[in-house]
Amino acid sequence: MSDSFGRSSLTSAKPANPDPIRVMVVDDSAVIRGLLTRALEGDTDIRVVTSVGDGQMAVNSLQRNSIDVIVLDIEMPVMDGLTAIPKLLAVAPQVKIIMASTLTLRGADVSIRCLSAGAADYIPKPTSTREIGGAEDFKRELVAKVKALGAAARRAGSRSRGEIRPLSPAYVPLSLKREQAPITTRPAPMGMQVKPDVIAIGSSTGGPQALFEVLSHMKGAVTQPILITQHMPATFTTILAEHITRQCGIDAKEAKDGEPVVQGRCYIAPGDFHMLVAQRGGANVISLTKDPPENFCRPAVDPMMRSILKAYGGRKILACILTGMGQDGLKGCTEVVNGGGTLIGQDEASSVVWGMPGAVAQAGICSAILPLKEIGPYIRKFASRAA
């Protein structure tokens, strides 16, 4: 068969990847498993190796199969997703787990508990088979996360075996495809020899776990406002703020439009809103907007960083980019650093996906590129020093 230009349609089709990302789908509904499998295998870089109906079956299957990514339902008979996570990671520590969760308060709460237990990411699951079958945005997000996390799982597996395993260009994250220049850091500006006035953090895939680790060092030492944009849908950000308060012992809340930015409080950008800082009546206040998504995200890190620079001036901003897909935060942080602010990024080895921190690291605008365990103490050091 040939097209109107006489070319064979067989030769124009994308060839199958000889070494695709290997996926397990776990859901108690056979219909949902079938829909997820078709959505994933529509991409030639992904192969669903097995699909099973509960957590115990997933553990048993993982012992027999080499898997890069598990798409795991939460509520299942025999063994639910939360119970299964530590058992799955005990069998295959390098495997990356994506929780499939409904957009409910319970679904959000359990999803964040799953992230704390070791899941790498989550995806909001449509509530019906009809929605899954027709939700193109859901399918695109699922495929993108599976490919990024699959690549990360293979790097982690190679490191644990002391190997250097090249990845197929088909699923290397875009931020890593460009030519790799030597990573450089930029010395902290003179302004960071005194306390910063504000701390701003951006994160995405793997972000909740990273935030819990970083913010656990803030209690009793950091008096500045902390503004966080974590890529999450509505409902999830409400629950994230509650978990940060409980686990880290700091005053965290989902931001509300018009509220003042006060010392010692941690503000989380609500799902589907950009969180900005605006000046009203001589004071800094939260401004929530429905402006178009940036970097395919709302909330996005870039508009938050730009607004903080405008409200505070660059000299006393301490910014941080944690693990996440894509390069959201690069443009905004570049403006912050050019304005005199300081930026730190998470290193590749400790990131679930080194997309966002990799972008700022490779741009040479970070004052430090640190393992996750060192970021909280670093921020605490600068935030608590004498003025």
In angstroms, the CA 248 to CA 304 distance is 23
- pLDDT at position 352 is 94
pLDDT over 50 (residue 178): no
Domain 198-384 in this protein, CATH class:
alpha beta
Give mean pLDDT, residues 42-63: 97
Outline which parts of the chain fall under CATH 3.40.50.180.
198-384
Please tell me which residue, 110 or 177, carries the higher pLDDT value: 110
Give mean pLDDT, residues 85-101: 95
- pLDDT at position 5 is 35
- pLDDT at position 186 is 66
- pLDDT at position 20 is 94
pLDDT over 50 (residue 9): no
- Poorest-confidence range of 13-17, 136-140, 151-155, 172-176? 172-176
pLDDT in tens, 242-295: 999 999 999 999 999 999 999 999 999 999 999 999 999 889 999 999 999 999
Confidence of residue 175 (pLDDT cuts 50, 70, 90): very low
- Poorest-confidence range of 10-19, 37-46, 113-122, 304-313? 10-19
Please tell me which residue, 380 or 12, carries the higher pLDDT value: 380
pLDDT over 80 (residue 4): no
- pLDDT at position 173 is 39
Confidence of residue 308 (pLDDT cuts 50, 70, 90): very high
Outline which parts of the chain fall under CATH 3.40.50.2300.
21-158
- pLDDT at position 195 is 84
% pLDDT > 70, the chain: 84
- pLDDT at position 170 is 35
Confidence of residue 169 (pLDDT cuts 50, 70, 90): very low
- Poorest-confidence range of 131-140, 162-171, 348-357? 162-171
Confidence of residue 240 (pLDDT cuts 50, 70, 90): very high
pLDDT over 70 (residue 48): yes
Please tell me which residue, 292 or 126, carries the higher pLDDT value: 292
Confidence of residue 135 (pLDDT cuts 50, 70, 90): confident
- pLDDT at position 387 is 52
Domain 21-158 in this protein, CATH class:
alpha beta
Mean pLDDT computed over every residue of the chain: 87
Confidence of residue 125 (pLDDT cuts 50, 70, 90): confident
Confidence of residue 310 (pLDDT cuts 50, 70, 90): very high
- Residues labelled catalytic: 204, 231, 328
Burial class of residue 307 in the structure, from the number of CB atoms within 10 Å of its CB (0-12 exposed, 13-18 middle, 19+ buried): buried
